[in-house]
Chains A and B, each alone.
Chain A
Amino acid sequence: MASGVTGYAAISTKVRAMYSNLLTPQDISRLSDSPDFPSLISSLKNTQYGPYLASLKDNELTPRRAIQQLRRRLADSYSSVVQMSPEQTRSLVKQLFRYFELGNLKAVLRSIQTVSAWNPDVAPWDRVNEVLFPFGSFSTLPAQAMVEAGNVPAAVELLKGTPYESTMSFAMKRFSAEQNLFPLEVALDLDYWRRLWAEAKKLSGLDREAATKIVGGLLDMNNLMWAIRYRVYHKLSEEEIINYTLPFGFRVRDEDVRAIAAGGDIAAIVSRAFPSIADVNTLLEHPQAGLPKLEVLLKRQVIRQCTAAFIGNPFHIGLPLAFLILSDLEIQDLVVLIEAKSSAVQDDDFRSVLLKTSLLN
């Protein structure tokens, strides 16, 4: 079992090389100055995303297709990290990658629920396929067959033999009773993060330390936002919030989540876990506008944490994980830009939600 210098020499070299190809905050800032969608795409063609966009002809370059192509680069990054990572960490990286498959699964289930409202001239699969993450050969999801199955129970039947079978079998009873995708999605999310955390905890030494820090950072953000949203938006009961959240994390403790569930002071809890986020009280005065802003601030914390992983000893799984997360967040920024430019959104409305440009300050 290769680890330490021997296991990570090749991958850390490669990841460092790929890391240097990520867009800088200045690049993102320059891209956001593009006057419109075509000029944004033409600027992007001069970046590392160029080869991915080059395969699309000008008449095919819709915002949705452009986003799909950008995501292909992320899929390629995952694929190369998975192949090069030491054996003992491979299942963790694969599980992290599964986040996008989880997204695909949710998209497929949602499409099945809403397909009746769609234009009958377009085949449902063609529409769904356009929004799915290009997961490639790693996918275990029979997505097309699920869409064509036409109803959720039949589609879920097709998940037999996949990592989602067991979770879905428990959650389906509630779906049958409520005809609502919420329980299915919650169960899938919780299962995903539990598995990811378990994979991180399975490691030893530096790998475990780095993985729990990086994965824990992501998990904290999600867990905290879930707890707050369940209480503020969905008005769920204490026991439901407890069951729909996770009892572990890096900075956000079980007590924090329980306190939120029990009606405690959210601002105080967020400030304790993330002291660098200022004015949480002001943010939460108007939750409708404040919570998305809080989420952006938490994502920026993740970026800082991932960037910090590149300082110090590089011979652990932290570097590849941090690189993959940074790549994903970079694409989130590009998606914001593409959508903003294609729908002519005012500068002030989208610049504040860009993640990477915060590093300029």
Chain B
Amino acid sequence: MFFPREMTEVELIIPSKDLVPVTKVLSGRGVFHQVDSAFLGLESLGPSTWQDKAANYSTLERRLQSIMQTLGLTEEQKGSTEFETIVDIESVRPAVDRIEGDVKGVGDQLGVEKKRLESLEAQLKQLEPISHLNFEVGSLRKSDHVHSILGVMKADTKVIERLDSIRVPHVLFELKRDAKDAVVWLLGSKNNSDELERAAKSAFLNPLTLPEEFSGTPEQVVEKTRKAIEESKQKIFELETQLGKLGGVHKTELQKLWWDAHVSRLIADAIARFGQLRHTYVVVGWVPTADMALLTEKLKQASREILIEALPTERSGHHDNVPVALLNNKWLRPIQELVTTYGRPSYGELDPTILVALTFPILYGAMFGDLGQGLVLMLVGFLSHKKIFMKGLSSLGLLLVYCGFFASIFGVLYGSIFGFEGHLIEEYLHFHFEPLWLSPLENILTILGFAIDAGIVILLFSYLLSLFNMARARDWAHFWFGHTGVVAIAFYFCFLTILNGLLGTTPIAPKIAAAISQLPLPFNILTPVFAFGVMFNGLFRNIAEGHRPLIEGGIVMYLVTAFMDLFESAISMLSNTLSFVRVGAFAVAHGGLSLAFFSLAGEEPTIGFWITLLIGNIFIIGFEGLIVYIQTMRLHYYEILGKFFHGGGMRFEPLRLNSSQEEA
């Protein structure tokens, strides 16, 4: 629950005779993440023939796809059980050849006819704009003084303007234009024919090539072309009808052939990455430990002589090569999306999804505390999750529900409902609703101080999680001397006592800092000691990890850098701690914004009053709700996750026969 799914490294030795059934089991269950183990094979056996087989299946699959495309058939994926064994290409080739023979002739004719139609339509499009002119089409080719280029170019005003801007004397007529093409006529002196030709060519103006058989005026040519187009369309219709009939005849057979070729290709691809020994194959990969027992049982059913070595992988230590399968809980999916946007946990690392699932809605609720608006947010989230309303936000629907829920709870604590607080509730809503805890607007400094205290608790918790992660990874150098290591945490405690000294008895002084200051510890000695530790953290890490040289660059430069490290640590501790003030500040701002709408609405409960408040509430839910969401996200990404979560895990991508199979 707090970690990615436990993985087991699996090594299989498969007898050659059982290769395909075993691969079918591995690919069919969607739980096996393959590792390329071709390098484990014997080189003396030469290159794997499975790569060629995979290429052949791929070619066969594409041939079948091409036939199906010609017939207008779609590829239908089936269940992994609807597949016996990989197909023998030679045995299916006659069937494919036969169907292709039937289809190809008609398909090719259709292709040729469509090209002819396209060409005729292009000619018509070029000729229509000049159809009213009375001249001999052939004369374009025979002019003595005028160089003329009639053709089609891209219908892009900027390209046409560019052609028209050449310095050679010319005239450019744009005769016709549609979304894609423009018919233009470029005319100039015969003396400049080279320049004109170069300009036309470089502007990708494709000159009209009128067939020699077309003679007469444009009107006559247009008439002939239209007739040819009608004939061509009729022929295309006949050929398409013929293909439709062929599709009906061959549909079932083609679907089966394609599925067999498709699955055979996937299996051959997988086998090509196995290590090939003389009579056996070596397969390496990862399986979620929970799925291991069932997979082992199925593998044993597929091959009695298979050797299975399963090595459950502990989460401690470094595991860069272990794929990470996250828990697939639909209720946590939006939170998981938030986390994976920041980074995918690595195998040994805590998956912060559960923590974020708690802190995100709570911090959001604390900033947006209002019973009525929280319930509306919940409703919007629910409708969006069910794709009834605001479908585009459906992936965030559940997150809105959680945030709305906590906003409602804080609304009860703050005594706020649709912006009404205190006496306003009794005056306008006619019932009593006291804050269960406090009203942010009336206790501004108290809530700001409380927010800082809450921030300190969260930060300390994040530091502890970081220690936990580093201890699990056995990264002792960083555990003690990292930016979030023991020395840094000890310095943070000392820093809090300094902060307490600075803020003194002011209402925003964090109570936790005051409590720490009361501890019977010599902070005036500890503070410089741990400051020294933070300053030379890098040096201590180098000593612990055995890195040499211990100090890079000159000693003076190193001391300057070390001092800057200390300064930066202190500044970031201060900013991280005070960053949580925003939680209290937004709770206050929320009440303030509501008051602003009350001022606009006036005092009399007229229709205008209620409409203003309605608009105000919609604005607050939409606008402030979004800003609070961003602030909550910022707190998590910068202040919380950054402390202990590194990410960088490799995605678990199991072999699958059917692309619609769910991720394990």
Q: Kindly state whether residue B130 has any CB partner on chain A within 8 Å.
A: no
Convert A2-35 into 0s and 1s, putting 1 for each residue whose CB lies closer than 8 angstroms to a CB of B: 0001100110011001000000000000000000
Q: Kindly state whether residue A276 has any CB partner on chain B within 8 Å.
A: no
The 8 Å CB contact of A247, one of B162, B206, B630, is: B162
Given known A-B contacts A243-B202, A247-B162, A10 and B153 have beta carbons under 8 A apart: no
Chain A residues positioned under 8 Å from B162 (CB to CB): 242-243, 247
Task: Report the Cα distance A105→B585, complex, angstroms.
Answer: 53
Q: Kindly state whether residue B198 has any CB partner on chain A within 8 Å.
A: yes
The 8 Å CB contact of B623, one of A6, A57, A171, is: A6
Q: Kindly state whether residue B602 has any CB partner on chain A within 8 Å.
A: no
Given known A-B contacts A6-B627, A166-B180, A242-B166, A247 and B204 have beta carbons under 8 A apart: no
Q: Kindly state whether residue A183 has any CB partner on chain B within 8 Å.
A: yes
Q: Kindly state whether residue A170 has any CB partner on chain B within 8 Å.
A: yes
Convert A161-177 into 0s and 1s, putting 1 for each residue whose CB lies closer than 8 angstroms to a CB of B: 00000110011011000
Given known A-B contacts A13-B634, A170-B153, A239 and B168 have beta carbons under 8 A apart: yes
Q: Kindly state whether residue B82 has any CB partner on chain A within 8 Å.
A: no
Report whether B198 and A240 are in contact in the complex, using a CB–CB cutoff of 8 Å. yes
Report whether A13 and B156 are in contact in the complex, using a CB–CB cutoff of 8 Å. no
Minimum distance in angstroms from B342 CB to a CB of chain A: 8
Report whether B195 and A237 are in contact in the complex, using a CB–CB cutoff of 8 Å. yes
Report whether B320 and A51 are in contact in the complex, using a CB–CB cutoff of 8 Å. yes
Report whether A10 and B199 are in contact in the complex, using a CB–CB cutoff of 8 Å. no
Task: Report the Cα distance A167→B626, complex, angstroms.
Answer: 42
Chain A residues positioned under 8 Å from B201 (CB to CB): 174, 240
Within 8 A of B (CB), among A152-168: 166-167
Q: Kindly state whether residue A54 has any CB partner on chain B within 8 Å.
A: yes
Convert A238-254 into 0s and 1s, putting 1 for each residue whose CB lies closer than 8 angstroms to a CB of B: 11101110011000000
Given known A-B contacts A170-B153, A171-B204, A247-B158, A239 and B198 have beta carbons under 8 A apart: yes
Minimum distance in angstroms from A176 CB to a CB of chain B: 10
Report whether B161 and A244 are in contact in the complex, using a CB–CB cutoff of 8 Å. no
The 8 Å CB contact of A10, one of B39, B195, B206, B630, is: B630
Chain A residues positioned under 8 Å from B202 (CB to CB): 236, 239-240, 242-244
The 8 Å CB contact of B648, one of A6, A51, A248, is: A51
Q: Which residue on chain B has the smallest CB distance to residue A87?
A: B392
Convert A45-89 into 0s and 1s, putting 1 for each residue whose CB lies closer than 8 angstroms to a CB of B: 000000100110101000000000000000000001000100000
Q: Kindly state whether residue A123 has any CB partner on chain B within 8 Å.
A: yes
Task: Report the Cα distance A190→B229, complex, angstroms.
Answer: 34
Chain B residues positioned under 8 Å from A258 (CB to CB): 165
Q: Kindly state whether residue B185 has any CB partner on chain A within 8 Å.
A: no
Within 8 A of B (CB), among A209-247: 236-240, 242-244, 247
Q: Kindly state whether residue A107 has any CB partner on chain B within 8 Å.
A: no
Minimum distance in angstroms from A130 CB to a CB of chain B: 16
Chain B residues positioned under 8 Å from A170 (CB to CB): 152-154, 204, 206
Report whether B637 and A17 are in contact in the complex, using a CB–CB cutoff of 8 Å. yes
Minimum distance in angstroms from B553 CB to a CB of chain A: 11
Q: Kindly state whether residue B559 has any CB partner on chain A within 8 Å.
A: no
Report whether B163 and A243 are in contact in the complex, using a CB–CB cutoff of 8 Å. yes
Give chain B's interface secondary structure class.
Answer: helix
Q: Kindly state whether residue B633 has any CB partner on chain A within 8 Å.
A: yes
Q: Kindly state whether residue A345 has any CB partner on chain B within 8 Å.
A: no
Q: Kindly state whether residue A102 has any CB partner on chain B within 8 Å.
A: no
Minimum distance in angstroms from A24 CB to a CB of chain B: 13
Task: Report the Cα distance A80→B168, complex, angstroms.
Answer: 49
Q: Kindly state whether residue B650 has any CB partner on chain A within 8 Å.
A: yes
Q: Which residue on chain B has the smallest CB distance to residue A236?
A: B202
Minimum distance in angstroms from A8 CB to a CB of chain B: 10
Task: Report the Cα distance A282→B549, complex, angstroms.
Answer: 44
Minimum distance in angstroms from A152 CB to a CB of chain B: 16
Chain B residues positioned under 8 Å from A166 (CB to CB): 154, 180
Centre residue among B161, B162, B198, B627 by max chain A CB count within 10 A = B162
Report whether A243 and B203 are in contact in the complex, using a CB–CB cutoff of 8 Å. yes
Task: Report the Cα distance A6→B624, complex, angstroms.
Answer: 10
Task: Report the Cα distance A213→B499, complex, angstroms.
Answer: 45
Within 8 A of A (CB), among B132-165: 152-154, 156, 158-159, 161-163, 165
The 8 Å CB contact of A123, one of B55, B203, B341, B648, is: B55
Q: Which residue on chain A has the smallest CB distance to residue B55?
A: A123
Report whether B204 and A183 are in contact in the complex, using a CB–CB cutoff of 8 Å. yes
Report whether A194 and B320 are in contact in the complex, using a CB–CB cutoff of 8 Å. no
Task: Report the Cα distance A255→B362, complex, angstroms.
Answer: 60
Given known A-B contacts A170-B204, A237-B195, A13 and B637 have beta carbons under 8 A apart: yes
Chain B residues positioned under 8 Å from A359 (CB to CB): none
Centre residue among B163, B166, B204 by max chain A CB count within 10 A = B204
Chain A residues positioned under 8 Å from B161 (CB to CB): 247
Q: Which residue on chain B has the smallest CB distance to residue A125?
A: B55
Chain A residues positioned under 8 Å from B432 (CB to CB): none
Minimum distance in angstroms from A175 CB to a CB of chain B: 11
Q: Kindly state whether residue A268 has any CB partner on chain B within 8 Å.
A: no
Report whether A242 and B165 are in contact in the complex, using a CB–CB cutoff of 8 Å. yes
Within 8 A of B (CB), among A245-272: 247-248, 258, 262
Q: Kindly state whether residue A277 has any CB partner on chain B within 8 Å.
A: no
Q: Kindly state whether residue A344 has any CB partner on chain B within 8 Å.
A: no
Q: Kindly state whether residue A145 has any CB partner on chain B within 8 Å.
A: yes
Given known A-B contacts A166-B154, A242-B162, A145 and B204 have beta carbons under 8 A apart: no
Task: Report the Cα distance A55→B154, complex, angstroms.
Answer: 46
Chain B residues positioned under 8 Å from A242 (CB to CB): 162, 165-166, 199, 202
Report whether A237 and B198 are in contact in the complex, using a CB–CB cutoff of 8 Å. yes
Q: Kindly state whether residue A187 has any CB partner on chain B within 8 Å.
A: yes
Q: Kindly state whether residue B17 has any CB partner on chain A within 8 Å.
A: no
Report whether B156 and A194 are in contact in the complex, using a CB–CB cutoff of 8 Å. yes
Task: Report the Cα distance A158→B251, complex, angstroms.
Answer: 24
Chain A residues positioned under 8 Å from B39 (CB to CB): 57, 59
Chain B residues positioned under 8 Å from A6 (CB to CB): 623, 626-627, 630
Chain B residues positioned under 8 Å from A13 (CB to CB): 630, 633-634, 637-638
Q: Which residue on chain B has the smallest CB distance to residue A171?
A: B204
Report whether B320 and A243 are in contact in the complex, using a CB–CB cutoff of 8 Å. no
Task: Report the Cα distance A13→B650, complex, angstroms.
Answer: 24
Chain B residues positioned under 8 Å from A80 (CB to CB): 341
Minimum distance in angstroms from B663 CB to a CB of chain A: 16
Within 8 A of A (CB), among B610-664: 623, 626-627, 630, 633-634, 637-638, 648, 650
Q: Which residue on chain B has the smallest CB distance to residue A178?
A: B201
Chain A residues positioned under 8 Å from B55 (CB to CB): 123
Q: Kindly state whether residue B245 has any CB partner on chain A within 8 Å.
A: no
Minimum distance in angstroms from B480 CB to a CB of chain A: 20
30 contacts between A and B (CB under 8 A): A5-B627, A6-B623, A6-B626, A6-B630, A10-B633, A14-B341, A17-B637, A17-B638, A55-B650, A57-B39, A59-B39, A123-B55, A170-B152, A170-B154, A170-B204, A170-B206, A174-B201, A190-B159, A238-B166, A239-B166, A239-B167, A239-B168, A239-B195, A240-B202, A242-B165, A242-B166, A242-B202, A243-B203, A247-B158, A247-B161
Excluding A240-B201, A243-B199, 6 further A-B contacts by CB distance (< 8 Å) are A9-B627, A14-B637, A166-B154, A167-B154, A237-B195, A247-B158
Measured CB to CB, the residues of A under 8 A from B are: 5-6, 9-10, 13-14, 17, 51, 54-55, 57, 59, 80, 84, 123, 145, 166-167, 170-171, 173-174, 183, 187, 190, 194, 236-240, 242-244, 247-248, 258, 262
